[in-house]
Amino acid sequence: MADIALVLGAGGVTGSAWETGILYGLAEAGVDLSTADLIIGSSAGAVVGAQLASGLLGLPGLYARQLADPQGETGGRLGTATLMRYARAVLTAGSPEAYGQKLARMAREARTGITAADRRALIASRLLTPEWPERQLRITAVHAATGELHTFDRDSGVPLADAVTASCAVPAVWPVATIDGQDWIDGGVYSPANAHLAAGCERVVVIAPTASGNKVIVSPRSQATDLEARGARVAVITPDAAARKAFGRNPLDPSRRAAAARAGLAQSAAHTEKVAAVLNG
């Protein structure tokens, strides 16, 4: 069983950048999470998790990628109308599964402006390799028909790019991802971090760009509290005020990526002691 788990949550391209900045800053301070026994990635965290687990590019290189000019990169937008539909779905859903089903229906009806094939190609371009790593990497996605959370890993028989594309399929923004005839949507729909999947690990670090929960979605901190009740040592990192400002109003805007990465790097110092205590205490 894994001893140290790194949980990387959902949060768009700004979330990926911020997570990378946090990880880079921690590593520079001597707290390197790239060697975690288990990495669990949801949506934005699926991209970062796959990059990190590949071992092909160290954190300095991954951080530098976040600072690159995003000119020409396709961005998305979570507009007010879409967010209002999300909110209505929360009000009428009695469980995370019911919420997932509602958002999946919304996703199937939406016109996204990009084909599923082009979206997959974009995700694949962000990965460092098409191959699953040898180490434990779990990528989350929500089954469109049932709303249930599922994890993909190297034993699932699913290409890595397909798994990450499914995990990043933001409803009504990007196309539903289809794998072997089954439709999938964003893993962050079930919860922003899905930190409960680290149950059984002794030491857990949760890096969650989205800190909030609601009546059907459990927040990262609530999931961390449950893990602690089971005996785990847990550290949770969520964006500070400066990071939230760097994100802007649209987490899917690539032009905000560099600022978000720098904000993560700057924020990391405030968490070094806590994370080190979890890992070494």
- Helix axis angle for 59-67 and 257-268, nearest 10°, is 140
What residues in the chain have per-residue pLDDT under 50?
A: 1
**12 is a domain residue:** yes
**194 is a domain residue:** yes
Total domains present in the chain: 1
**101 is a domain residue:** no
Per the document, the length of the chain is 281
Residue-number span of the structural domain to which 194 is assigned = 4-75+112-280
pLDDT value for 1: 47
pLDDT value for 39: 99
pLDDT value for 77: 87
pLDDT value for 70: 87
**128 is a domain residue:** yes
Which pair of structure tokens corresponds to residue 216?
Answer: 């059907």
CATH value at residue 201: 3.40.1090.10
pLDDT, one tens digit per residue, over 131-140 is 999 999 999 9
Q: With beta carbons less than 8 A apart as the criterion, state whether 165 and 123 touch.
A: yes
**207 is a domain residue:** yes
pLDDT value for 246: 98
- Cα–Cα distance for residue pair 234/43, rounded to 1 Å: 21
**156 is a domain residue:** yes
pLDDT value for 73: 80
Can you give the pTM of this predicted structure?
A: 0.96
**91 is a domain residue:** no
**263 is a domain residue:** yes
pLDDT, one tens digit per residue, over 208-237 is 999 999 999 999 999 999 999 999 999 999
